[in-house]
Amino acid sequence: MAKAKVPRATTKRLPIYYRYLNILHDQNVSRVSSSKFAKAVQIDPATIRRDFSYFGALGKRGYGYDVNQLLRFFKKILHQDHLVNVALIGVGNFGHALLNFNFHQDSNVRIAAAFDIKPDIINTVQSDVPVYSMKDLVSQLREQQIDVVILTVPAKAAQNVCNLAIKGGAKGILNFTPVRLASPANVRIQNVDLTNELQTLIYFVKRYD
Amino acid sequence: MAKAKVPRATTKRLPIYYRYLNILHDQNVSRVSSSKFAKAVQIDPATIRRDFSYFGALGKRGYGYDVNQLLRFFKKILHQDHLVNVALIGVGNFGHALLNFNFHQDSNVRIAAAFDIKPDIINTVQSDVPVYSMKDLVSQLREQQIDVVILTVPAKAAQNVCNLAIKGGAKGILNFTPVRLASPANVRIQNVDLTNELQTLIYFVKRYD
């Protein structure tokens, strides 16, 4: 498969496609029309065709999509065909919730290690995940070969912990802190700012009141 | 102020600008150069100028930005000048974490009511928020005039609860479920899919390994 540059917007839709294909598969549906597919995922058919085109032609005119073929395809694209271990750094309220939150219910992601500075939870198991001391962050990430981390530390610690994670080999950081992290070009930071999401929503609702 | 159509991408950056202006204000900084501002928020200066232009000219060439003026301005734009009450529907693991999570630490948002179906938490107070029965969702949203809700119910209940919230007057829904909700055109659904975010990040990390 050619490694063409895939737009970020396309990439963000891939898990949506994948999830719906799984639902269809569970319902023993083997073929789906492009219009039904579009309606279910709430993305217009032209966008879907364009998205799919980055990975080669995946539909046939007048036939629709072959569910099993697409599913195998996206499984590979999204690395769902093997388990991905990630680490969670910062076991506060929100971090704890993410440990409980079942990422791998319909995905292949597993939180394999958590890190914190609180002595009372270091060396305990929280929601089936071992909690290590922050002092061991670099060595544990290296030893467990974890290159994707979830950052849920307080804002004031964010950049420092981010630097340590990168030293430990992190190449991807899902950043739940409000801090805009500085990082080398080969490390991808994905920001999830829940306050921001809520404020944006409120802005739209109040603006068009 | 003219209600020009502001792009969604611009809107999502407004809270980032607002947050950084607050930090400057707390540091008693009254004026910031456009290049320093750009570097801190990690958005290029041309984009910032274009974003600001939707709301009228806010910077002066060779002067930079007036922190207090901008802050007053964004406070109004983002409705930070008065408290916005929202409701949280579904007090499971993740819902509970959001109740604990301090949305209004540097925002004006307050979760004023929560809803669930579990008898053992109905009519209790969780993290300072009263929990009501799901049966009272429509009447309580109307009575408390809440039009923004956070949806953290199980996927299979999502559409049904969404319909009830809309019946109760919801105009904005922050959707943490993986379900793509159907809704009338005047209701805004904002999807936050954490599994999706993590999968997208992994896709990028593994693709460029």
Model confidence pLDDT, tens digit, residues B16-46:
888 888 888 888 888 888 888 888 888 888 8
State whether B94 and A93 contact (CB < 8 Å). Answer: no
What are the structure tokens assigned to B173, written together?
């829904």
Same domain, A37 and A107: no
Q: Which domain-ending residue is among B49, B77, B105?
A: B77
CATH number of the domain within which B70 lies: 1.10.10.10
Same domain, A131 and A67: no
Please tell me the pTM assigned to this model.
0.73
Same domain, A120 and A34: no
Three-state SS annotation for chain B: CCCCCCCHHHHHHHHHHHHHHHHHHHCCCCEECHHHHHHHHCCCHHHHHHHHHCCCCCEECCCEEEHHHHHHHHHHHCCCCCCEEEEEECCCHHHHHHHHCCHHHCCCEEEEEEEECCCCCCCCEECCEEEEEHHHHHHHHHHCCCCEEEECCCHHHHHHHHHHHHHCCCCEEEECCCCCCCCCCCCEEEECCHHHHHHHHHHHHHHCC
Q: What pLDDT shows up at residue B1? A: 43
The widest CA-to-CA distance across chain B, in whole angstroms, is 62
Same domain, B94 and B190: yes
Q: What pLDDT shows up at residue B4? A: 59
CATH number of the domain within which B178 lies: 3.40.50.720
State whether B42 and A180 contact (CB < 8 Å). Answer: yes
Same domain, A42 and A16: yes
Q: Which of A94, A203, A208, A209 to mutate to test the interface with B (most CBs of B within 10 A)?
A: A203
Same domain, B188 and B163: yes
Q: Which residues of B touch A156 (CB under 8 A)?
A: none
Chains A–B, number of C-beta pairs less than 8 Å apart: 167
Q: Which domain-ending residue is among B40, B56, B77?
A: B77
Q: Is the pLDDT of residue A155 over 70?
A: yes
Same domain, B65 and B153: no
What's the rounded Cα separation, in Å, for the pair A114 and A133?
A: 9
Give the minimum alpha-carbon distance from A4 to chain B in angstroms, rounded to a whole number: 11
Annotated binding residues of A for NAD(+):
90-95
Domain assignment present for residue A55? The answer is yes
Domain assignment present for residue A209? The answer is no
Same domain, B188 and B89: yes
Minimal Cα distance from A174: which residue of B?
Answer: B198
The β-bridge partners of A86 are A111
Q: Which domain-ending residue is among B54, B77, B100?
A: B77
Same domain, B154 and B111: yes
Which helix (H) or strand (E) segment is A96 a member of?
helix A93-100
Minimal Cα distance from A148: which residue of B?
Answer: B202
State whether A172 and B204 contact (CB < 8 Å). Answer: yes
Annotated binding residues of B:
90-95
What's the rounded Cα separation, in Å, for the pair B21 and B108?
A: 15
Q: What pLDDT shows up at residue A117? A: 97
State whether B15 and A196 contact (CB < 8 Å). Answer: yes
The closest CB to that of B200, out of A12, A86, A101, belongs to A12
Q: Is the pLDDT of residue B56 over 80?
A: no
Q: Which residues of A touch B76 (CB under 8 A)?
A: none
Domain assignment present for residue A165? The answer is yes
Minimal Cα distance from A85: which residue of B?
Answer: B202
Same domain, B191 and B89: yes
State whether B109 and A199 contact (CB < 8 Å). Answer: yes
Minimal Cα distance from A7: which residue of B?
Answer: B204
Domain assignment present for residue A2? The answer is no
Annotated binding residues of A:
90-95
Same domain, A69 and A106: no
Q: Which residues of A touch B107 (CB under 8 A)?
A: 195, 198-199
A3-7, A157-161, B102-106, range with the lowest pLDDT: B102-106
Same domain, A143 and A114: yes
Domain assignment present for residue B200? The answer is no
ipTM of the complex: 0.74
State whether B199 and A101 contact (CB < 8 Å). Answer: no
Annotated binding residues of B for NAD(+):
90-95
Q: Which of B106, B152, B201, B207 to mutate to test the interface with A (most CBs of A within 10 A)?
A: B201
Domain assignment present for residue B40? The answer is yes
Q: Which residues of A touch B103 (CB under 8 A)?
A: 194-195, 198
Q: Is the pLDDT of residue B187 over 90?
A: yes
State whether A84 and B148 contact (CB < 8 Å). Answer: no
Percent of chain B with pLDDT over 90: 37
Number of domains in chain A: 2
Give the minimum alpha-carbon distance from A102 to chain B in angstroms, rounded to a whole number: 9
Say if CB B196 and CB A103 are below 8 A apart: no
Residue A208: pLDDT band (50, 70, 90) is: low
What's the rounded Cα separation, in Å, for the pair A35 and A65?
A: 10
Residue A2: pLDDT band (50, 70, 90) is: very low
Model confidence pLDDT, tens digit, residues A24-37:
888 888 888 888 88
Q: Is the pLDDT of residue A91 over 80?
A: yes
Domain assignment present for residue A181? The answer is yes
Domain assignment present for residue A206? The answer is no
Model confidence pLDDT, tens digit, residues B99-154:
887 675 666 788 999 999 999 999 999 888 999 999 999 999 999 999 999 999 99
The domain in which residue B59 lies consists of 8-77
